[in-house]
Amino acid sequence: MKKKPIYSFFKRCFDIFCSLLAIIILALPMLIVAIAIKIDSKGPVFFKQDRIGKNKRIFKILKFRSMFTDTDPNAPTHQLGNATSHITKVGGFIRKTSIDELPQLFNILSGKMSFVGPRPALWNHPNRLVLATEKS
């Protein structure tokens, strides 16, 4: 289904406005989370993972890192043996509260994601082509 240009324009304006507003409002809490992650475990603050977006383009989704750096980044948590042993102390909290998802606001601001639409599929998800096609 082809979307009308006016719809796409207003949807993009909505994404830019809302993501910028949310980033401004949540800047201090995101800074506190970033510091907590650095204190809790070694490694980067952000976790980047390949996802499939619009027009089947692969992009890096941003999240706060909730697992130790030696964990396979492409393995879904439910497929890890004893998954809780891979999750940091801060990671357990930010996952439970979905705070780990806040950096995706930058993906929305850059146009790689949108507030409205399907969640981008993992690049190695078995139904990735179906999911990517539904998003386009």
- Residue 31 φ/ψ, nearest 5 degrees: -65, -45
Average pLDDT of span 73-102: 83
Centre a 10 Å sphere on the Cβ of residue 130 and count the other Cβ atoms it contains. Answer: 10
What pLDDT shows up at residue 53?
83
Mean pLDDT of the chain: 85
pLDDT, residue 39, reads: 96
- Token representation of residue 2: 């082809």
pLDDT at 136: 40
Q: How many C-beta atoms surround the C-beta of residue 120 within 10 A?
A: 26
Q: What pTM value is reported for the model?
A: 0.80
Q: Tell me: pLDDT of 18 over 70.
A: yes
Question: How much is the average pLDDT of 101-113?
Answer: 95
Q: Model confidence at 101, in pLDDT bands (50, 70, 90)?
A: very high
pLDDT beyond 50 at 91: yes
Element (H, E) at 93: helix 89-96
pLDDT tens digits, residue range 56-68?
A: 888 999 999 998 8
pLDDT digit string, tens, across residues 66-78: 988 877 666 666 6
Contact 90, 40 (CB under 8 A): yes
Tokens at 73, concatenated: 């980044």
Please write the tens of the pLDDT for every residue from 37-60. Answer: 999 999 999 999 888 887 788 899
pLDDT (0 to 100) of residue 129 = 47
Compute the distance between CA of residue 101 and CA of residue 50 in angstroms, rounded to an integer: 15
